């Protein structure tokens, strides 16, 4: 036997050994598949594998269709929709998003959030949503004359973040027009009202020897002028608060002092209505970070309403209690109460309870709206509890400790 024949025999033996090993391995794999799937033979395994592959292909097709439908739907929206991956790279952006951000169609996909938006504020909203689940913001795109866009972000339950962009330029323009109109109107009304008030006061002094009927008419002029002045002041105040031009002067505030001084300030007004103000506070509580004048204004408005809508001979209680994180302040009155249907709306501006129930005691409908804005700007909340005919309790909280994030400061 020569060397060639020997090599041929050795090669053939190796090939047979390899084929035998493959067959044995395949047999073991089939045995494992049969055990795992419950199939009785290799044909059963093959059928199950084919079924699994068909189902996977079907799932892939449905996934592609859902993706196409989602893309089509977002292109129909007037608002911008952007999807970011976990690394804040743009995975998808509809046409409206490109228009709002002044980008050429298709140029945002694949870029980082900072590259795509060219605005650290939008990127910050996305990062906050990744960390906390959701976040909101409002930015002016490109320049001061560019569109104003609100950005709402929410972390996806699967991965990444969804951003929804809305152009609110026209809404903000109308809000500015409204605020400017109220501001100008209030300033224009102040001068004639001040003049009328001074004339009425002078007439009242000159009419001391006049008939009771004339003195009564002059007194009514003074009262109505006072109401008009209050309305103008509240309009101006609310306009400034809502526009953000009324800044809060931060300081460490002793709310016990604020409660007691406000009660004393309105004590004479209450006594003229046959009412008594009772103060229920501890001697000392933790200081809060806030605007003392604004917090005092909250209590003035609540106590003034309590006096105005309570019958003679009643008792109004203003109280204060301290909890670990907040101070809770309340004003309870024995007045006419608020119908249950009105409780959810009494803090809306210009909203007033049925005039027939409080004839002769109406107001502007702005006081409680101002109260809500001031309390919320301090990071607190306010609510009312009432039973019609049995009085009301207005309660608000103020956090103890540093001012909340984004707290405006004029000091």
Which has more pLDDT, 2 or 220?
Answer: 220
Mean pLDDT for 126-154 is: 81
Residues facing 396 on adjacent strands: 329, 382
Computed over every residue of the chain, the mean pLDDT equals 78
Q: Provide the 3-class DSSP secondary structure of residue 208.
A: coil
Q: What percent of the chain has pLDDT over 70?
A: 73
Residue 360, pLDDT above cutoff 60 = no
Q: How far is CA 239 from CA 182, 253, 364, 373, in A?
A: 7, 25, 14, 11
The three-state secondary structure class of 199 is: helix
How far lies 167's CA from each of 84, 303, 377, in Å? 20, 41, 25
Task: Please report the pLDDT score of residue 261 as a whole number.
Answer: 94
Q: Is the pLDDT of residue 225 over 50?
A: yes
Q: Higher model confidence: residue 161 or residue 3?
A: 161
Mean pLDDT of 68-82: 71
pLDDT at site 254: 93
Question: What is the predicted pLDDT for the residue at 114?
Answer: 87
pLDDT range class, residue 319, cuts 50, 70, 90: very high
Q: Which of 105-119, 137-151, 215-229 has the highest mean pLDDT?
A: 105-119
Percent of the chain scoring above 90 in pLDDT: 15
Q: Is residue 298 very low, low, confident or very high in pLDDT (cuts 50, 70, 90)?
A: very high
Q: How far is CA 67 from CA 63, 70, 72, 154, 323, in A?
A: 6, 5, 9, 19, 51
Burial code (b: 16+ CB inside 10 Å, e: under 16) for 19-55 equals eeeeeeeeeeeeeebbeeeebeeeeebeebeeeeeee
pLDDT tens readout for residues 233-247: 777 777 777 666 667
The neighbouring-strand residues paired with 153 are 135, 163
Q: What's the mean pLDDT in 313-341?
A: 89
* 393 has pLDDT over 90: yes
Average pLDDT over every residue of 61-71:
64
**164-183 pLDDT tens trace:** 898 888 888 887 887 788 77
Contacts of 286 (CB under 8 A, 6+ apart): 322, 327, 400, 401
pLDDT tens-digit map of 94-106:
888 888 888 888 8
Q: pLDDT for 34-57, tens place per residue?
A: 555 555 565 665 666 667 667 777
Average pLDDT over residues 381-395: 88
- For 318-348, the DSSP string reads EEEEE-SSEEEEEEEE-SS---HHHHTTTTS
Q: What is the pLDDT of residue 145?
A: 65
- Over residues 275-296, the pLDDT tens digits come to 999 999 998 899 999 899 889 9
pLDDT for 131 equals: 86
The confidence score (pLDDT) of residue 6 equals 53
pLDDT at 72: 58
What is the per-residue pLDDT for 411? 34
The more confident residue out of 361 and 280 is 280
Q: How many angstroms separate the CA atoms of 90 and 108, rounded?
A: 6
Banded pLDDT at 409 (limits 50, 70, 90): very low
Q: Are 329 and 395 in contact (CB under 8 A)?
A: yes
118 closest CA partner among 137, 104, 101, 95: 101
């Amino acid at each position: 036997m020569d060397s060639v024949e020997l090599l041929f025999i050795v090669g053939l033996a190796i090939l047979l050994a390899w084929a035998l090993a493959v067959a044995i391995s395949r047999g073991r794999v089939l045995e494992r598949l049969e055990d795992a799937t419950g199939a009785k033979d290799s044909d059963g395994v093959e059928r199950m594998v084919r079924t699994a592959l068909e189902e996977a292909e079907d799932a892939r097709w449905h996934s592609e269709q859902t993706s196409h439908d989602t893309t089509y739907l977002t292109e129909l929206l007037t608002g911008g929709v952007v999807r970011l991956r976990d690394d804040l790279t743009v995975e998808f952006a509809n046409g409206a998003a490109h228009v709002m951000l002044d980008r050429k169609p298709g140029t945002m996909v694949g870029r980082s959030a900072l590259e795509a938006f060219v605005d650290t504020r939008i990127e910050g909203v996305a990062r906050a949503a990744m960390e906390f689940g959701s976040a909101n913001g409002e930015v002016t795109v490109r320049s001061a004359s560019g569109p104003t866009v609100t950005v709402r972000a929410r972390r996806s339950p699967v991965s990444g973040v969804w951003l929804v962009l809305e152009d609110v330029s026209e809404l903000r323009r109308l809000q500015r027009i409204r605020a400017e109109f109220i501001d100008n109107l209030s300033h224009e009304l102040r001068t004639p009202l001040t003049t009328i008030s001074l004339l009425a006061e002078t007439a009242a002094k000159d009419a001391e020897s006049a008939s009771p009927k004339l003195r009564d008419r002059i007194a009514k002029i003074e009262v109505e002028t006072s109401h008009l002045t209050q309305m103008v002041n509240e309009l101006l105040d609310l306009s400034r608060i809502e526009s953000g031009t009324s800044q809060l002067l931060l300081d460490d505030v002793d709310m016990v002092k604020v409660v007691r001084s406000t009660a004393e300030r309105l004590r004479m007004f209450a006594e003229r209505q046959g009412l008594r103000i009772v103060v229920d506070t501890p001697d000392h509580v933790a200081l809060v970070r806030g605007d003392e004048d604004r917090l005092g204004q909250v209590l003035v408005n609540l106590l003034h309403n309590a006096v105005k809508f309570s019958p003679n001979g009643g008792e109004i209680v203003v109280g204060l209690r301290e909890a670990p994180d907040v101070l809770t302040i309340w004003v309870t009155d024995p007045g006419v109460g608020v119908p249950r249907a009105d409780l959810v709306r009494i803090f809306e501006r210009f909203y007033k309870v049925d005039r027939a129930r409080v004839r002769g005691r109406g107001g502007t409908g702005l006081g409680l709206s101002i109260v809500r804005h001031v309390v919320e700007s301090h990071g607190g909340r306010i609510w009312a509890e009432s039973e019609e005919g049995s009085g009301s309790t207005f309660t608000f909280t103020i956090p103890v400790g540093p001012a909340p994030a984004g707290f405006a400061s004029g000091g």
